[in-house]
Amino acid sequence: MSFFKKIFSSEKKETLDKGLEKTKSSFFGKLSKAVAGKSKVDDEVLDNLEEVLVTSDVGVETTLKVIDRIEARVSKDKYLGTAELNQILREEIAGLLSETNIGEATEFTIPQDKKPYVIMVVGVNGVGKTTTIGKLAYQFKKQGLKVVLGAADTFRAAAIDQLQVWADRVDVPIVKQNMGSDPASVAFDTLQSAVNQDADVVIVDTAGRLHNKVNLMNELTKVKRVMKKVVDDTPNDVLLVLDGSTGQNAFEQAKQFTAATEVTSLAVTKLDGTAKGGVVIGISDQFKIPVKYIGVGEGIEDLQVFNKHEFVDSFFK
């Protein structure tokens, strides 16, 4: 099928294949047991398949959609063999992800008409938020773009220190204040500095905790409001970072943050260390928010632009 054509470089594709290895091994191990001794896709196989998808962290709602699609094909074709199930699953999951215009890009890009392009990053501590910011800064700088970082996750001194380490590593400027400072004040200073430096991209680190939804909402709303005073129409992207290895907890965090602020894109990290990569399929489908980036390794190049065609291809390879 045309949407399975290779569009990543062979090196990037190899990294993606390797990063999804644990998920693939777990998923297809379960799938083999689900169809053992069966030649036809019947109700029992579908029940077993439903369990495989749910326990692979695809999520209940998305699983039911996939099962409904396969049931429709079984009733239309009258007979489907279990040997064809891999291909059918591949086609239906790709079809599901293709219903929304997400995961189409192959390279790190920003709109040309927004300068500076402001990315506000949210997510709880420990999900790989700071690492994602550092790797993003690296990718944008590699394209010749001028990047400024803002350390507005001021609740922990470690968060500021970690971002400083990445700023030094990538060699980009960082704007920071002391721990406990007002996050909105840091965001304001960051944007002013970026404008003065004629920067192309600003990445602001915020909200490393879900202390409660009301406080979080107030804090993020204030940060946004203050940024608009410097550059109208900002932030241009509110990026929520989720740890893919937490499975269903990633769904819960997505619910919490989307309730607290307008999230416009997602990054799912740590997929290489987990068998829960199916979470990307469920989150893409359920939240209708584009998964822009996925983390498939610890190296600085191992943050990739999420492309649904390549993801499905690697998943079913």
Stretch(es) of the chain classified as CATH 1.20.120.140? 2-98
CB-CB contact of 56 with 30 (8 Å): yes
81 is in an annotated binding site: no
Which range is least confidently modeled, 135-144, 181-190, 291-300?
291-300
302 is in an annotated binding site: no
Which residue pairs, CB below 8 angstroms and at least 24 apart, start in 31-37? 31/85, 31/86, 35/82, 35/85
Look at residue 1 and tell me whether its pLDDT is greater than 50: no
Distance CA 16, CA 217 (A): 35
- For residues 113-119, average pLDDT: 94
272 is in an annotated binding site: yes
Stretch(es) of the chain classified as CATH 3.40.50.300? 117-307
Look at residue 4 and tell me whether its pLDDT is greater than 50: no
Distance CA 275, CA 22 (A): 5
Which of 127, 124, 125, 188 has the alpha carbon at shortest distance from 152? 188
Distances in whole angstroms, Cα of residue 53 to Cα of each of 26, 159, 242: 11, 36, 20
CB-CB contact of 166 with 131 (8 Å): yes
Q: Which homologous superfamily is 117-307 in?
A: P-loop containing nucleotide triphosphate hydrolases (3.40.50.300)
Give the per-residue pLDDT at 79. Answer: 65
- More confident of the two residues 4 and 6: 6
122 is in an annotated binding site: no
312 is in an annotated binding site: no
Give the per-residue pLDDT at 204. Answer: 98
Distances in whole angstroms, Cα of residue 241 to Cα of each of 54, 72, 108, 133, 269: 22, 35, 16, 10, 7
Distance CA 45, CA 31 (A): 10
- More confident of the two residues 165 and 275: 165
Residue 111 φ/ψ, nearest 5 degrees: -60, 140
126 is in an annotated binding site: yes
Give the per-residue pLDDT at 11. Answer: 83
CA angle 204, 304, 284 (to 5 degrees): 85
Residue 264 φ/ψ, nearest 5 degrees: -110, -15
pLDDT in tens, 51-107: 999 988 898 999 999 999 888 888 887 667 777 888 888 888 888 887 765 556 778
Q: Which CATH number is 2-98 given? A: 1.20.120.140
Give the per-residue pLDDT at 230. Answer: 96
Element (H, E) at 303: strand 303-305
Q: How far does CA 199 lie from the centroid of its chain?
A: 25
129 is in an annotated binding site: yes
- For residues 25-51, average pLDDT: 87
- More confident of the two residues 83 and 18: 18
CB-CB contact of 299 with 94 (8 Å): no
**Percentage with pLDDT > 90 across the chain:** 48
Look at residue 202 and tell me whether its pLDDT is greater than 90: yes
**Burial letters for 170-189: b for 16+ Cβ neighbours within 10 Å, e otherwise?**
bebebbbbeeeeebbebbbb
123 is in an annotated binding site: yes
Give the per-residue pLDDT at 208. Answer: 82
Confidence of residue 3 (pLDDT cuts 50, 70, 90): very low
Mean pLDDT of the chain: 88
308 is in an annotated binding site: no
186 is in an annotated binding site: no
Look at residue 266 and tell me whether its pLDDT is greater than 90: yes
